[in-house]
C-alpha cells in the first residue's frame, strides 16, 4: 500500500512517527510531506524520517489561507506523480482536497472541535474523519470514533519509556517539586476572543514558592522570566513532563500529554476540548479552566491545593495507569484501520456502540 502523510505541525510528527515505523516494517510505502513550522522538520530528521518540505508557517488568517491554497497545488503535484492509495493528515484541508480531485481516499484525524474554519473546509471533502470517542461534535456518517487520545499514539507505554537523564541534564533532583509552565502564542484563528494567563510574571513568582519552575513558551518571554526558560529538544520534553510534579499551562496538547503520563495538569485556557473535559471528569488528572472562571487567582489557588498534597506524584501515576488500561493503543488502531481500509471503516460504522480497544478491534487483536 502507498500512503502519503502530510505533516503540518510538530505534534503531527509525534502522532505519526510510530505508525510510520510500523507500516514501513510491514512493507508499506510511506511518503511524507511537511510544513516548516517550529520544530517539525528538525523532529522528522531526529527520528530519521525522510520528507519533502513544502511551505512555511504564515501569520494571520489571510496569509494562512494563501498558504493552504498553495499547499493544495504542491501536494496535488506530488500525489499525481507518486500515485498513493490513501492520503492521511490531521485536520488537513489539502489532503482532503487533493484526494477528492485525484479520486483517491483520504483519512483525516482530528481532536479539535473549535478549529471551525479548518474543519469546515476539510470534513466535506474527506472520506473518513477519525476522532476520539470524547469528541464533542457529531460529524455525520463519515466519522469514526476510537477510544483513545492523540497523545496515546506516542506516549503509550508500548512506545514511550521515560528517561531520568533529563533530570541530571537540567540540574534537577528526583525529590524536588518540578512545576512546568507553558505559554502559547495565541496566533491561531480560533484563539480570537479567548485567553489564558493574564499576569505571567505574577503567576511564575507565586508558583516559585512551591517548587522549581521551568517555562516552555511558543514566543518570547519578558526579561523577568528569561531565567526560567528551558532549552530542551522537543522529543525530550515528554521525559520532563513525566517527572514533573505539576503542569500549569495554556497548551491543551501538553496538558493531555501530562494526563496520559500520570502528571497532574492545570489547563489555563478558555477554549474547551472534549479530551480535556474527559481527562478531568473521568480521570481527575486535569483541572480545566475552560469550564470555570479563568482567573489568575483561581489558577493559583488550584495550584497551591495540588502542590500541598505530598502524595500528588504517586496519585497521578496511579490515575495515569488506570487511563492507559482503559484506552487503546492509538498507533495500533491506526495501523489496523488504515491497513484494512475501507473494510475497517464499514466494520466500525456497523458497530457504533462499541468503543474499540486493541483487543476488540474487528478482526482480532494486533
pLDDT in tens, 18-66: 999 999 999 999 999 998 877 899 999 999 999 999 977 666 566 667 7
Residue 276 maps to which CATH number?
Answer: 3.40.50.2000
**CA dist list (Å): 31 to 16, 71, 85, 160, 347:** 12, 16, 11, 24, 27
On whether both 12 and 39 belong to a single domain, the answer is yes
- Overall pTM surpassing 0.85 (yes/no): yes
On whether both 337 and 201 belong to a single domain, the answer is no
pLDDT at 218 over 60: yes
On whether both 184 and 290 belong to a single domain, the answer is yes
Task: Point out which residues pair with 183 in neighbouring strands.
Answer: 217
Collapse the DSSP code of 228 into the 3-class scheme (helix H, G, I; strand E, B; otherwise coil) and give the result.
helix
pLDDT in tens, 224-238: 999 999 988 888 999
On whether both 320 and 332 belong to a single domain, the answer is no
Task: Point out which residues pair with 71 in neighbouring strands.
Answer: none
Asked if residues 210 and 228 have their Cβ atoms less than 8 Å apart, the reply is no
Give, for 212, the enclosing helix (H) or strand (E).
Answer: strand 212-217
On whether both 321 and 355 belong to a single domain, the answer is no
Task: Point out which residues pair with 273 in neighbouring strands.
Answer: none
Q: Which segment of 35-44, 77-86, 176-185, 337-346 scores lowest on mean pLDDT?
A: 35-44
List the grid coordinates of 22: 510500523
**Nearest-angstrom CA–CA distance, 132 and 254:** 17
**Nearest-angstrom CA–CA distance, 338 and 201:** 46
DSSP state of 56: E
Give, for 237, the enclosing helix (H) or strand (E).
Answer: helix 237-243
On whether both 224 and 104 belong to a single domain, the answer is no
For residue 343, what are the domain limits?
Answer: 2-148+328-360
**Nearest-angstrom CA–CA distance, 105 and 330:** 21
Collapse the DSSP code of 108 into the 3-class scheme (helix H, G, I; strand E, B; otherwise coil) and give the result.
strand
On whether both 137 and 179 belong to a single domain, the answer is no
pLDDT in tens, 146-192: 999 999 999 999 999 999 999 999 999 988 999 999 998 745 544 55
pLDDT of 335 = 97
DSSP state of 291: S
224 domain residue, yes or no = yes
Q: What is the tally of structural domains in the chain?
A: 2
Collapse the DSSP code of 288 into the 3-class scheme (helix H, G, I; strand E, B; otherwise coil) and give the result.
strand
87 domain residue, yes or no = yes
pLDDT at 337 over 50: yes
On whether both 169 and 313 belong to a single domain, the answer is yes
Amino acid at each position: 500500500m502507498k500512503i502519503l502523510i502530510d505533516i503540518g505541525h510538530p505534534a503531527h510528527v509525534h502522532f505519526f512517527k510510530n505508525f510510520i515505523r510500523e507500516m514501513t516494517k510491514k512493507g508499506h510505502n510511506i511518503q511524507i510531506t511537511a510544513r516548516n513550522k517550529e520544530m517539525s522538520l528538525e523532529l522528522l530528521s531526529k527520528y530519521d524520517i525522510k520528507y519533502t518540505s513544502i511551505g512555511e508557517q504564515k501569520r494571520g488568517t489571510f496569509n494562512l489561507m494563501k498558504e493552504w491554497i498553495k499547499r493544495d497545488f504542491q501536494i496535488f503535484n506530488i500525489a499525481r506523480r507518486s500515485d498513493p492509495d490513501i492520503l492521511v493528515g490531521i485536520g488537513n484541508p489539502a489532503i482532503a482536497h487533493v484526494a477528492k480531485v485525484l479520486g483517491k481516499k483520504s483519512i483525516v484525524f482530528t481532536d479539535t472541535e473549535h478549529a471551525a474554519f479548518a474543519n469546515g473546509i476539510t470534513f466535506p471533502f474527506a472520506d473518513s474523519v477519525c476522532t476520539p470517542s470524547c469528541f464533542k461534535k457529531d460529524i455525520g456518517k463519515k466519522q469514526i470514533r476510537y477510544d483513545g487520545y492523540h497523545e496515546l499514539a506516542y506516549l503509550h507505554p508500548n512506545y514511550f519509556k521515560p528517561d531520568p537523564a533529563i533530570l541530571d541534564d537540567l540540574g534537577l533532583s528526583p525529590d524536588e517539586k518540578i512545576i512546568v509552565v507553558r505559554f502559547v502564542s495565541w496566533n491561531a484563528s480560533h484563539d480570537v476572543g479567548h485567553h489564558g494567563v493574564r499576569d505571567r510574571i505574577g503567576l511564575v513568582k507565586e508558583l516559585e514558592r512551591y517548587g522549581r519552575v521551568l517555562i516552555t513558551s511558543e514566543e518570547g518571554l519578558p526579561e523577568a522570566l528569561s531565567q526560567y526558560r528551558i532549552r530542551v529538544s522537543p522529543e525530550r520534553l515528554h521525559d520532563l513532563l513525566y517527572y514533573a510534579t505539576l503542569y500549569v499551562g495554556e497548551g491543551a496538547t501538553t496538558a493531555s500529554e501530562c494526563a496520559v503520563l500520570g502528571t497532574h495538569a492545570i489547563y489555563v485556557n478558555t477554549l474547551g476540548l472534549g479530551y480535556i473535559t474527559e481527562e478531568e471528569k473521568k480521570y481527575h488528572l486535569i483541572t480545566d479552566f475552560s469550564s470555570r472562571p479563568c482567573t489568575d487567582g483561581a489558577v493559583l489557588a488550584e495550584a497551591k491545593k495540588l502542590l500541598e498534597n505530598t502524595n500528588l506524584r504517586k496519585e497521578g501515576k496511579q490515575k495515569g495507569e488506570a487511563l492507559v488500561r482503559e484506552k487503546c493503543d492509538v498507533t495500533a488502531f491506526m495501523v489496523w484501520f488504515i491497513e484494512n481500509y475501507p473494510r475497517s471503516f464499514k466494520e466500525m460504522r456497523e458497530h457504533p456502540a462499541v468503543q474499540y480497544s486493541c483487543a476488540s478491534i474487528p478482526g482480532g487483536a494486533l
